[in-house]
Structure 1
């Protein structure tokens, strides 16, 4: 969900040794030493996840537990999400807001019996935790930062694989959360992920992480998957990358994320930046996030400018994420364009190395999701 960071003082996840033993190519990402790919390579890792199951290390992300009276109201001031209406053992996608109506980070919020469990992006977690503490601790709400591993098992075989360790995970629906025992360890499991496929995110104690990862990888249906395929999978799924497709200058309305706010929050407001967001809901916005399909085989990557004519014309937008979609079999991208140019099937032109190339506005996602509803 968040983009690269070139911090040279790299941290390591508890699975760093396993990545190296598996032959991973390691790169800096969000301040961590992370696997970008393994022996299969990005293309085959991507396709294996779509066909079977992939195991991802996402332990670099921040895991936080919130507890206290009045927590729902206090958190709803920070996020435009219906926290109060979130049932026990369910999870919702949301985002932290700023006063300009921009998104400070996107995150997952899960309700357990006596607390909320939050997962935030690695590149933003220090700022997010500081924001949460400043806003919540004066209201006697505790903000506990956890030191646990987080792995994601994604793909159409994920249910069958994980059910061999805990049969009860079969009954979970998309965005359900549960505590189960996996390979002898207490695991907090959500039926969710960021690939567009069915699957699970699994939080476990650090001491149990490597054994569990090895157990899952011992199944022939499971391969270790790096950040490269994680990015191409989420792009085909039309999911935003924080720092590219959404950031502190983009609003939920521009990004097409108002579905995550819920009807009550859109109407009532009461969150940071609500005046701007509600005005955009009422009056519209000047730009929108759209899917883009370049003609030919050459990808259009982040930063490519978009124009309304092959020669001359006006600049109408910019690509924010782009690459080759292995499942699609061609280049895919997302970006922001002026609303006048945002209709599906609109022909635009992206300027790549001084030459304008045709690109069409398309609906998202590029690949239908496989979530278990």
Structure 2
């Protein structure tokens, strides 16, 4: 167990990180992650959708009731304050933010709310709800009681995953019911991190920060066509200049190393020993059986296949930049 954002979080369970990781990737198996530390917000008021579009880059008008999408909370310089998942419902919007950023997010959102000319309110609700993430094959709870849940289908592993928010009083019963199925294995933060890195997904505070724009992070796809044209979110002009005029000086890339993993903070060099970037995430990939990572490099060094140099465990490695994700994505796609 490790402390994080006021919670004690499991890094691994008895099966260990490696087995939990491989179990999640195995067809017909399922993993359950406790992520109750995540921040959960409810946005109400008749102008709630318009208010949230002043906060995030996503096209929320395109969501039907009951649908969710990943989006980014940006600052006036176009930096990513946080990434979040937003769900639309008939009478409210439901927002899940990162645990370590929720206080910063709330201050930022309330500041925008103070200047918003409309009817909207922000309510923090995770004290009443527990949050889980699961990679599930079709499962049916038999002989159990009915409980209300908020369910989204986004995933943070590269697999077809669900996020489940359930009342605190029902959370243990709900988790135990899922774990009764022999195909379900509890998994901790260690496997969650290696899974998300294989999937090429960013971790805020590492691969994306308040100093990183969506364009540099290769996340322009989160900004819908309407939002690009209409704007309304913080940093819109800066972000659009980077996108349209291709003026970003750095970009996020994936890389593969045939030796030890290059860890966060390691510098990347070109053939002339010039520093051209730095590693933001790195680990051993259980699926590929080799070291992988993500980094920011100068735009000129970001072409696929570019060979760079990095020091790992006092040895010079030669990573090659590759396209993320590192493993095929198995997300659910709406028909």
Do these two structures clear the TM 0.5 threshold for a shared fold by scoring above it? yes
**1:265-276 aligned within 5 A:** 265-276=227-238
**1:278-297 aligned within 5 A:** 278-284=240-246, 285-296=248-259
- The answer to whether structure 1 residue 165 and structure 2 residue 141 are counterparts is yes
SS in 1 for 2:100: coil
**What residue is the counterpart of 2:160 in the other structure?**
198
**1:235-254 aligned within 5 A:** 235-254=197-216
Bigger Cα displacement from structure 2, 266-275 vs 232-241: 266-275
**What residue is the counterpart of 2:88 in the other structure?**
111
Structure 2: state its 5+ residue gaps: none
Give yes or no for contact 2:305–2:322 (8 Å, CA) kept in 1: yes
Bigger Cα displacement from structure 2, 344-353 vs 109-118: 344-353
**C-alpha separation in 2, matches of 1:134 and 1:268:** 21
Q: CA deviation at 1:183?
A: 4.1
SS in 1 for 2:31: strand
**Aligned mate of 1:215, from 160, 167, 177:** 177
SS in 1 for 2:281: strand
**C-alpha separation in 1, matches of 2:153 and 2:79:** 28
In structure 2, relative to structure 1, the CA distance for the partners of 1:280 and 1:308 (3 Å cut) is same
**C-alpha separation in 1, matches of 2:167 and 2:110:** 24
**C-alpha separation in 1, matches of 2:284 and 2:197:** 9
**What residue is the counterpart of 2:123 in the other structure?**
144
Q: CA deviation at 1:72?
A: 2.1
**What residue is the counterpart of 1:6 in the other structure?**
none
SS in 2 for 1:159: coil
Give yes or no for contact 2:276–2:297 (8 Å, CA) kept in 1: yes
SS in 2 for 1:185: coil
- The answer to whether structure 1 residue 89 and structure 2 residue 66 are counterparts is yes
Residue by residue over 1:284-323, the C-alpha shift from the partner in whole angstroms, topping out at 9 and shown as x without a partner, is: 1111001110123x111111100012xx521111110000
Q: TM-score, normalised by structure 2?
A: 0.94
**What residue is the counterpart of 1:55 in the other structure?**
32
- The answer to whether structure 1 residue 362 and structure 2 residue 322 are counterparts is yes
**C-alpha separation in 2, matches of 1:244 and 1:183:** 41
**What residue is the counterpart of 1:332 in the other structure?**
292
**C-alpha separation in 2, matches of 1:354 and 1:100:** 37
SS in 2 for 1:323: strand
- Runs of 4+ in structure 1 off by over 3 angstroms are 137-140
**C-alpha separation in 2, matches of 1:134 and 1:269:** 18
Bigger Cα displacement from structure 2, 238-247 vs 336-345: 336-345
Aligned length: 326
SS in 2 for 1:331: strand
Q: CA deviation at 1:136?
A: 2.5
Give yes or no for contact 2:48–2:121 (8 Å, CA) kept in 1: no
**C-alpha separation in 2, matches of 1:103 and 1:210:** 34
Structure 1: state its 5+ residue gaps: 1-25, 167-181
**What residue is the counterpart of 1:40 in the other structure?**
15
Give yes or no for contact 1:269–1:278 (8 Å, CA) kept in 2: no
**C-alpha separation in 1, matches of 2:119 and 2:108:** 15
Q: TM-score, normalised by structure 1?
A: 0.84
**C-alpha separation in 1, matches of 2:193 and 2:235:** 29
**What residue is the counterpart of 1:122 in the other structure?**
99
Give yes or no for contact 1:289–1:334 (8 Å, CA) kept in 2: yes
**C-alpha separation in 2, matches of 1:115 and 1:91:** 12
Residue by residue over 1:90-115, the C-alpha shift from the partner in whole angstroms, topping out at 9 and shown as x without a partner, is: 11111111111100000001001111
**C-alpha separation in 2, matches of 1:357 and 1:207:** 51
Residue by residue over 1:164-209, the C-alpha shift from the partner in whole angstroms, topping out at 9 and shown as x without a partner, is: 139xxxxxxxxxxxxxxx7421111111220111121111100000
